[in-house]
Amino acid sequence: MNVLDGTGWSLQSLTAGPWIYAAVTTSILLDVFLPVLPSGILVVTAATAASATAAGAEAAAYAPYAPALLPLLLCAATASMLGDLAAYHLARRGGTRFGHAVARSRRLTAAQERLGETLARGGGLLVVLARFAPAGRSVVSLGAGATGRRLRDFLPWSALAAAVWATYGVGLGWLSGRWLGATWLGACVPVLALFLAGSLAAYVIRRPAGAPAPAS
């Protein structure tokens, strides 16, 4: 498919323009409350298109409007941390309303049952792991606020989790764009890697305390 002849949609045509930053930021801010939002997919897709364009891909006409990697990284990391803080404060002030909101969400309820106890005894590094696990960010941020954990204990790990997650997503897109170009295959490969990281994070978090680590 030629991205310049107007006969179809390409990654670069879909991500061209400053709107992509707003879309990425909004999706990441809200997916702590709505874990079904495709924030990670948006990040890696935009990064793939940005990397391919920067490398001189065939769609040079989109270059002036393509997302840039550093602003994309900063948007993703900042939105992730701000979303965590919003969820933390909402849960801290919400009391019983938070419990009712979780009870209405089958996905959040299941995630809380799977991750809650382990996160409570696992320390700060599990906040980083949970950022990759399905609904893990929601459980950690809302749970930290609901249980009254101090902000100074939660915030540094939230910031680290945001930076690691954003760097991973943008880095995946950058590598894929350089190797595979701004193609749908170039976007699907990092998306698959993102889901694999989420599955691995969920497995590590659910592993019972004292269980031996997987052999390296």
Structural domain spans, the chain: 11-206
Check residue 212 and give left, alpha or beta (phi > 0: left; psi -120 to 50: alpha): beta
Residue 142: pLDDT over 90: no
In 190-213, which positions are buried (b, 16+ CB within 10 angstroms) versus exposed (e)? bbebbeebbeebbebbeeeeeeee
Of 140 and 100, more confident: 140
pTM of the model: 0.75
Per residue in 85-110, pLDDT (tens digit) is: 999 998 888 755 666 666 666 655 65
Mean per-residue pLDDT of the chain:
75
Using 50, 70 and 90 to split pLDDT, how confident is the model at 163? Answer: very high
